[in-house]
Amino acid sequence: QVQLQESGPGLVKPSETLSLTCTVSGGSISSYYWSWIRQPPGKGLEWIGYIYYSGSTNYNPSLKSRVTISVDTSKNQFSLKLSSVTAADTAVYYCARVQPYYDILTGYWPRDFDYWGQGTLVTVSS
Amino acid sequence: SYVLTQPPSVSVAPGQTARITCGGNNIGSKSVHWYQQKPGQAPVLVVYDDSDRPSGIPERFSGSNSGNTATLTISRVEAGDEADYYCQVWDSSSDHRGVFGGGTKLTVL
C-alpha cells in the first residue's frame, strides 16, 4: 500500500520560504506524477503544482512565480518550496500521487489524485 | 481560466439518493474526478474518469458527465457518507492546470 508523509516546519515567518518534503513509501516514485495541493482553514482545495518523476514540472499560474517542486528519486521524496509567503499562504498542505494516463498521440498526462498524505498545517505568522 | 461550480450544500435523508453537481463550460469533454473529504482527514478519491470507481469504493457511488454538468450520485445514503465532496478536472487550455470545484457539503438528515 502506497503511503505519503509530509514533513517540514509548521510555522513560517512572513516573507520567508515555506519548505516541505513528501516521503513516499510502499512504492516507487518512478512512472508517476506527484503533486502538492493546499487547503486554507475552512476553505476548498487548491492545486499548487506537479512534478513528473523525470523532473518536468507544471505549476498553478497564480503561484508560479513563487513555487518550486523538485524530486529526489534516490530517496523516494519530492519537495515544495514556496517563497515570499504571507498570511494568505496559511493552509493544510497535502502531497498526492497523480495517476497518469497514456494518450497514443501525445504521451503521458496526469489523471486523478489517487493517494494522499495526511496533510500538514503550515501557519505563516511572525 | 476554467471554473467548476458546485452547490455549497446538499441534504438528504438516510436511504435516499444524493446528487451532487459540478458545472463547467463543456465539462462533458473533460474527465472528471470526485473526492470525498471528512473533517480532519485528507481527501479520498471516490470516482475517476467520470464514472469509474477505485477499488474499495462502494457501488453506491457513481458518476456521469455530459454537456456542461457532471454529477456524483450516492445511492442509499448512509450517515457515514456525510462529508465534503470536490470535483476536479485538468484545464488543457491553460497549461494543463489542475482545477477543483469549490466543494459541496453533504448533510445526512
Terminus-to-terminus CA distance in chain A, angstroms?
A: 39
Kindly report the nearest CA distance between residue A10 and chain B, in angstroms. 16
pLDDT band at A16 (very low <50, low <70, confident <90, very high): very high
Cα separation, B28 vs B42, whole angstroms: 27
Instruction: Specify whether the CB–CB gap between A35 and A48 falls below 8 A.
Output: yes
Tell me what the mean pLDDT of segment A34-39 comes to: 98
CA-closest candidate to residue B6, choices B90, B100, B83, B103: B103
Q: Which residues of chain B have pLDDT under 70?
A: 94
Per-residue pLDDT averaged across A58-78, rounded? Answer: 96
Neighboring chain A residues of B90 at a CB cutoff of 8 Å: 109-110
Amino acid at B57: I
CA distance B61 to B66: 17
Q: How far apart are the first and last CA of chain B?
A: 36
Query: What is the interface size between A and B, counted as CB pairs within 8 Å?
Result: 60
Kindly state the percentage of chain B with pLDDT values over 90: 94
Query: What residues of B are in the A interface, CB distance below 8 Å?
Result: 1, 31, 33, 35, 41-45, 48-49, 54, 86, 88, 90, 94-103
Which phi and psi angles does A98 have, rounded to 5°? Answer: -110, 120
Percent pLDDT > 70 in chain A is: 100
The per-residue pLDDT for range A102-122, each reduced to its tens digit, is 889 988 889 999 999 999 999
pLDDT of residue B1: 87
From the candidates B36, B97, B99, B105, which should be mutated to test the interface with A, based on the most A CB atoms within 10 A?
A: B97
Contacts of A81 (CB under 8 A, 6+ apart): A17, A18, A19, A67, A68, A69, A70
In whole angstroms, what is the distance from residue A69 CA to residue A77 CA? 11
Q: Hey, are the CB atoms on B49 and A58 less than 8 Å from each other? A: no
The answer to whether the CB of A52 falls within 8 A of the CB of A58 is no
Length of chain A: 126
3-state helix, strand, coil in chain A (%, to 5): 0, 55, 40
Q: Residue A58's pLDDT band (boundaries 50, 70, 90)?
A: very high
Residues 6+ apart with CB under 8 A from B76: B15, B16, B17, B60
Judge: A114–B43 Cβ closer than 8 Å, yes or no.
no
Cα-to-chain-centroid distance, residue A104: 27
- Predicted confidence at residue B103, as pLDDT, reads 98
Does an H or E element contain A6, and which? Answer: strand A3-7
- What number is the average pLDDT over the span A36-61? 96
Of residues B45, B96, B97, nearest to A114 (C-beta): B45
CA distance B6 to A72: 37
* d(C-alpha A26, C-alpha A36), whole Å: 19
Q: Identify the pLDDT of residue B32.
A: 97
Q: How far B47 CA lies from chain A's nearest CA (Å)?
A: 9
CA triple A30-A32-A37, angle to 5 deg: 125
Q: If you measure CA to CA, which chain B residue comes closest to A120?
A: B42
**What pLDDT does residue A103 have?**
87
